Structure 1
Amino acid sequence: MAEAAKKGLNAFATIKNIMSELKKVDKAFTPNSQQYQYLVEQMRADQVTTRRYSKAANESESVAKLYLSYIQGTRRLNTLQERYKGGEKTVEESARLVGLKLPERKY
């Protein structure tokens, strides 16, 4: 397989993964949405720009992979924060969690 074809497949897979991540975060992200159309536009424009102006090798693909990593990390962070939210526990609640009992307070 030619080098250019391999690069094209890698770039396509990255864009596909970005779109998949965006669908997980935003249910309104569909082929009819403006964000989707913008990504497709940018992908097409980049193909022409890369060929015409000879950007550094894989520059656009590297930026796309960086963005993919960012949105995956953000989604995972939000999932973890949602899962473990609930505020701080009191000292008494924390002690009970680990099987300890606080001494009784005498006022």
Structure 2
Amino acid sequence: MSATKVLRSLLNELRRASPNGCIKDSLAAKYILAQYKKFETTDQQLCKARNEAIFLGNTYNTYLASLRNYKELYMEYHGRGERTVKETADLVGFKLPTDPK
């Protein structure tokens, strides 16, 4: 994955994690952009730090995506007290039998 794609996906995950969806004034976004500028290289240079920065960016991206997925799953399946039989059946994907009258 190229450095630009990693940066875009990181900023996208930060935007999703932000309560208002705006990362313009985010300290995390400013720090990430500063780090990417710091480790920027040209085509003639071979820099070990650049590969480390891309690896670290991928690691943070995976962490943020996993955290977001965990929160979504937690909110969906978190126990909210007693559920009705119909809610439980819907949760696991079953249909309740209908009583013809």
Structure 1-normalised TM-score? 0.62
AA paired with 1:20? N
AA paired with 2:37? R
Q: Distance in 2 between matches of 1:86 and 1:28?
A: 28
- Tell me, yes or no, if structure 1 residue 35 matches structure 2 residue 43: no
Structure 1: tracts of 5 or more residues without a match: 1-6, 100-107
AA paired with 2:9? N
Aligned residues: 84
Structure 2: tracts of 5 or more residues without a match: 90-95, 97-101
Aligned-partner SS, 1:86: coil
Q: Distance in 1 between matches of 2:31 and 2:10?
A: 13
Q: Structure 1 residue 63: deviation in Å?
A: 1.4
Aligned-partner SS, 1:41: helix
Q: Distance in 1 between matches of 2:25 and 2:67?
A: 24
Moved segments of 4+, more than 6 Å? none
Between Structure 1 and Structure 2, which shows a larger proportion of helix residues? 1
- Of stretches 39-48 and 25-34 in structure 1, the one that deviates more from structure 2 is 25-34
Q: What root-mean-square deviation, in Å, do the aligned CA atoms of Structure 1 and Structure 2 show?
A: 2.9
Larger Rg, first or second structure (1 or 2): 1
AA paired with 2:16? K
Q: Distance in 2 between matches of 1:36 and 1:57?
A: 18
